[in-house]
Structure 1
Amino acid sequence: YSAKQIGYSQKFVEWMQQSYLPKGCLGDATYYQNYIPKFSPTNSLLGNAINTHAHALPLMYGAQTKIYMFLKKDAQGKFVPQNNLGDYWHIEANQLQYISNPVSFISSPEEYYFILPDYSSHSNGYNADDKAASNLMGFANHKNITGYKHFYIPHSQYIVIITKNNEALPFEKINIGEFFTEAEKQFPEWQKVTPVSAENYAKAQKNLARLKEKYKSKWNNIAEMKLSKTQITLQTFVNATEGYDDIFDTKDIYGKEGNYTSFPILKVKKTTKELCKTNQPQWLVIRWTMSMPNQPYNIHLHESILNNFNFDYVYNFFFDPEKIKNQTYKPLRFPSYKEVAVVTDASEASKKNNADKNVFFFEDFSTTVVGKIPIGWKSKLGSAGSSSVITNLDGLDGNWAVVADYTVTPGEMKKPLPQNFTLSYDVVVAQNFTWGAKQLHFKLAKETSPGTAESFLDLGIRPGYDGRDGDVSLETKFPSPPGYSNGSNTFVAPGFSNNKKNNRITVTIKKKEEMLQVLIDNTKTAEYEKAIPAAHLFNALSFYSYNPGANDKYYISNIKITKN
């Protein structure tokens, strides 16, 4: 490695430190180069064989920040890492190994074959859960990275790749013929590393010959396979008898082709390997992990990189230096930046209700700017790390808070609620909301500590389909004193379906002494004469849902609690 390449790695560290400051964690930073492994007597033959493939990788150098999330205090009372677990942010020149899945069976110290698991560019794309994660905080179309190749590897990491003039990565797709030619070449090598019996070795050779004949007419077709098929061994060929799925099969259980996501097998162009040895990176990879995406420290890392890191400066530094001549790196936003909440005028309904002494609480989100987190509300992040924002709905007045795959709670509501009250809220779902998706839950609880409820009422609701009624679930837990409501029931939600542009209903919950009533658009859905102890006081309120689907959001507004 040249002094200039080492210097670039050091710059990567500086750029990271200027763009990100860990919150709730400890962080450190370092730079590194490719580790080229040698034979290790303590490693297995298989481990050594696969490790030698690193000799075929392009020259790589980079930097990382490591964020330790588990901490303890040392003898001096200073916070130190409790263990070695952490999340990472990397910037690397010519990185390949850690953004790809190796096809080890045909790889060697001379040639590295791999798959790039970029679901975003595949026609089948991500599944529903992964799609939600792939757009965490707008990653899929974020303005700061939209000009660069970027994708999410499920349950692994977010990746941004920068190339000169946004050119395609310098990789070649191999054809089926090359795959079988290389596989046949490697048979004796793998028999030394992971030997099978002489009988099975002969069977593997026979099956290889059968596959070559089977794919003879597709010899020049691009070799594509599912990610689950990349871990090929000699046993794979032993098992590749007629009638079984083979390496290139992508049929589903019904025999239909193309329903599974497959990726081409790639290798690095030979000229590129030589160019990677020069002081000019051939591509740059900015990547970061999200091992705990519903935790604030991880969301902070993700948000900091997307909004603070100056991707364009990095591009210009390496590929168009005249644009930034005599300019040092500056983040787009400094880590100390704090967004000031912009408050808009309250609606007339909000002013009127908040002036009414009988109205205990009212919220129509009119003071929050569209696109921002509801002022005065807290979001407990969901599986994709998303949180509620305010939106307008075409054809409906007012502001609406989105609830999808997270929990939202009012942070500024007085506590406890009145002993007797009428509580109502409006709910909207879009047309073609997925039938069978999860409910929107509204929960009233008496908590002894945050998140720990000794008693509660949980009302779930979701729309029907094609004009059919929706459904309501009601779960209650009032164990003390005995004799009150404990258990769950289901009811019909009349008129709540998914066939209109905006499917809107009003849910009303009334508590009067021991009685509990639930109404949907003024139609009584449930009534319990002895449901809740008369003197019971709720002190927590929340809405939650766990739907990651883009069309399966709930919209809430006009939340009102009136003292009875």
Structure 2
Amino acid sequence: SGRGAFYVIVMTKDRQPLPFEQVTIGEFLTRLESRLPTMYSLAKNGGSQLPDLMEKAKAGLQELKKQFKDYHDKFAYFRGLHENADMIDLANIDAGKPITWLKTEAESKERDYGSSNYALLRLKKGVKQACATGGPQWIVFRMEAMINEADAGNTELMDNFINRFNYDYVYDYYFGNDKVITPYQPHAYVAAEEKNNNQAPAVLSETAKKYAADRSIAFYEDFSGVAIDAAPAAWTNERNQSGETIGVKEVAGIGGKWLKLQKNAAPRQFNTISGDFEFSFDVMVQKGDVPWGTPGIRLDLKFGSGQGDKTFAVDVSPGDMNRKDAAGWVMLTMPSSGCKIGNY
């Protein structure tokens, strides 16, 4: 919509199409002319100070008629989703200049707002009467949220909205033949691991079992206990804007399981460490997977101190793996550490 993302599901009575029909250019122009006095009152009550508003709007309407005189049988489309033709729009129409906000086709060649135009619709005859006497004819389920495929919380919200909400209950309640008296219940949550029933259940590796009992090991993860293609419950793992599924993978010719990275990933719980420690991790990048401009892989280690939290980072970029002359680099960030560091 251009004003924040949202997701809509529409349910209709008896599963009929939505009761709207398109408006032609001729019908639109006729309605505009008949509504001019009302539109003028709305503009004045809204505080418009434009001089000679009615005269200018009438002149603009005549220019509108002139430019669209051969398209009366075509359907009317607006260039923008939130377009609302009013007196100011009519008054600002200049003779001889093309009118850009009214279209006669669903797709345009202009690229300023994208190619899609938005149909002007009206309710079919009899719909208002049906709503007044027969109850709702359609129900709109609208999720007002910023839907960002990269945000794990929004991903779970979308999953709930689509898969857990009991739409059948709502349909039966409003549109069913029998009165619904049972209380509402959402659909049961199904973990990602359970959705792939053809796989054998994942079990921890011997190394993971051994290190879990070793008190000198603060944290260990090899993803052996996570099913292939499932998102590990003990990790946050953001997806990128492509919306591609993320999770644990196997790679042909290489042992073990790997967490596929697209954006940020982090263990949900990490034991507090004091004193010296060793940290290591394995990263695999395959040729062709990293396009030019990729920011690389950055590891952040956050430390608490009397002066507040500090972030130590190791940033590794492969450069362009498809070109020999575009080298990568390693960059260290160690705030106020006193360590002598150098970047390569």
| TM-score normalised by structure 1 residue count | 0.47
Equivalence for 1:169: 18
Q: Could you say which residue in structure 2 is the equivalent of 1:221?
A: 74
Residues 318 and 260 of structure 1: CA distance in aligned 2, closer, same or farther (over 3 Å): same
Does the C-alpha gap of structure 1 residues 416 and 444 become closer, same or farther in structure 2, counting only changes over 3 Å? Answer: farther
Distance change (3 Å), C-alpha of 1:387 and 1:212: closer
SS in 2 for 1:158: strand
Is 1:445 the equivalent of 2:304? no
CA distance in 2, matches of 1:360, 1:484: 27
> Are 1:194 and 2:66 matched, yes or no?
no
Which 10-residue stretch deviates more, 353-362 or 242-251?
353-362
Shift of 1:419: 4.5
Which structure has more relative contact order (CA 8 Å, sep 6+)? It is 1
Distance (Å, rounded) in 2 between the aligned partners of 1:245 and 1:441: 49
User: As a proportion of its length, which structure holds more strand?
Assistant: 1
Residues 346-361 of structure 1: matches in 2 within 5 Å? 346-347=204-205
Which residue pairs with 2:144 in the alignment?
289
In structure 2, what is the equivalent of residue 278 of structure 1? 133
Distance 1:228 1:390, change over 3 A: closer
Partner of 1:479: 336
Aligned amino acid, residue 233 of structure 1:
D
CA distance in 2, matches of 1:229, 1:211: 20
Is the contact between residue 374 and residue 388 of structure 1 (CA under 8 Å) also seen in structure 2? no
Aligned counterpart in structure 1 of residue 87 of structure 2, from 229, 234, 238 = 234
SS of corresponding position for 1:216: coil
Q: Secondary structure at the match of 1:459?
A: strand
Answer whether contact 2:77 2:106 (CA < 8 A) is retained: no
CA distance in 2, matches of 1:255, 1:338: 45
Write the deviation string for residues 293-332 of structure 1: whole angstroms up to 9, x where unpaired: 8696x7776555444431112223343436xx77624414
Offset, 1:230: 0.9
| Equivalent runs, 1:79-478 vs 2, <5 Å | 155=4, 157-195=6-44, 197=50, 199-227=52-80, 230-241=83-94, 242-243=96-97, 245-248=99-102, 255=110, 259-290=114-145, 304-321=160-177, 328-333=182-187, 344-347=202-205, 362-378=220-236, 389-392=246-249, 395=252, 398-409=256-267, 411-412=269-270, 415=273, 418-419=276-277, 422-427=280-285, 435-436=292-293, 439-448=295-304, 453-461=309-317, 464=320, 471-472=328-329, 474-478=331-335
Deviations 1:531-554 (A, max 9, x none): xxxxxxxxxxxxxxxxxxxxxxxx
Give the stretch that moved more between structures: 362-371 or 165-174: 362-371
Residue 423 (structure 1) shift: 4.1
The change in CA–CA distance for 1:470 and 1:231 in structure 2 (over 3 A counts) is farther
CA contact (8 A) 1:251 1:258 kept: no
Q: Conserved in 1, the CA contact under 8 Å of 2:192 and 2:231?
A: no
1:439 to 1:393, Cα distance in 2 relative to 1, 3 A: farther
Give a deviation string over 1:228-266, Cα, whole Å, max 9, x none: 561333222222224455322599999569943321111
Structure 2 CA distance for aligned equivalents of residues 260 and 369 of structure 1: 42
Range with greater deviation from structure 2 (186-195 or 213-222): 186-195
Say whether the 8 Å CA contact 2:6–2:143 is kept in structure 1. yes
Cα distance change on mapping 1:261 and 1:430 into 2, 3 Å:
farther
Contact 1:378–1:411 at 8 Å: present in 2 too? no
Q: Secondary structure of 2:282's partner?
A: strand
> How far has the Cα of 1:290 moved from its partner?
2.4
Q: CA shift at 1:428, angstroms?
A: 5.3
Q: Cα 1:233–1:375, aligned 2, differ >3 Å: closer, same or farther?
A: closer
- Distance across 2 between alignment mates of 1:369 and 1:254: 47
- CA-to-partner distance for each residue in 1:143-176, whole Å, 9 max, x for gaps? xxxxxxxxxx962543221113533211111112
1:31 aligns to what? none
User: Is the alpha carbon distance of 1:444 and 1:466 closer, same or farther for their aligned partners in structure 2, counting shifts above 3 Å?
Assistant: closer
Alignment check: 8 A CA contact 1:251 1:259 kept: no
Conserved 8 A contact 2:108-2:116: no
For 2:110 and 2:6, the matched residues in 1 are separated by 33
Can you list the C-alpha shifts for 1:308-360, whole angstroms capped at 9, x where unaligned? Answer: 431112223343436xx7762441446xx796988722347757988999987
Q: Deviations over 1:8-67 (max 9, x none)?
A: xxxxxxxxxxxxxxxxxxxxxxxxxxxxxxxxxxxxxxxxxxxxxxxxxxxxxxxxxxxx
- The runs of 5 or more residues in structure 2 that have no matched partner are 195-200
Once residues 162 and 358 of structure 1 are traced to their aligned partners in structure 2, the CA distance between those partners, rounded to angstroms, is 57
Give the aligned CA root-mean-square deviation in angstroms: 4.7
Amino acid at match of 2:333: T
Deviations 1:47-102 (A, max 9, x none): xxxxxxxxxxxxxxxxxxxxxxxxxxxxxxxxxxxxxxxxxxxxxxxxxxxxxxxx
Asked if structure 2 preserves the Cα contact closer than 8 Å seen for 1:365 and 1:390, the reply is no
TM-superposition CA deviations, 1:454-487 (whole Å, max 9, x none): 2411415366375665744625133243x6349x
1:204 maps to a residue whose letter is A
The answer to whether the 8 A contact 1:251-1:257 is kept is no
Give the counterpart letter for 1:392 in structure 2: K
CA contact (8 A) 1:478 1:484 kept: no
Helix, strand or coil at the partner of 1:392: strand
What SS is found at the alignment partner of 1:208?
A: helix
Q: Distance in 2 between matches of 1:184 and 1:447?
A: 69
- Aligned partners of 2:8 and 2:119: how far apart in 1? 19
Instruction: Summarize the Cα distance change of 1:364–1:317 in structure 2 as closer, same or farther, 3 Å threshold.
Output: same
Q: Is the 1:308–1:331 Cα contact (8 Å) retained in structure 2?
A: no
Between the aligned partners of 1:465 and 1:247, the Cα distance in structure 2 is 46
Alignment of 1:532-547 (within 5 A): none
Pairs aligned (count): 325
Pairwise CA distance, 1:441? 3.5
Percent identical among aligned pairs is: 22
Measure the CA separation in 1 of the matches of 2:109 and 2:80: 20
Q: Structure 1 unaligned segments of length 5 or more: list them.
A: 1-116, 118-152, 490-525, 527-564
Distance 1:408 1:456, change over 3 A: same
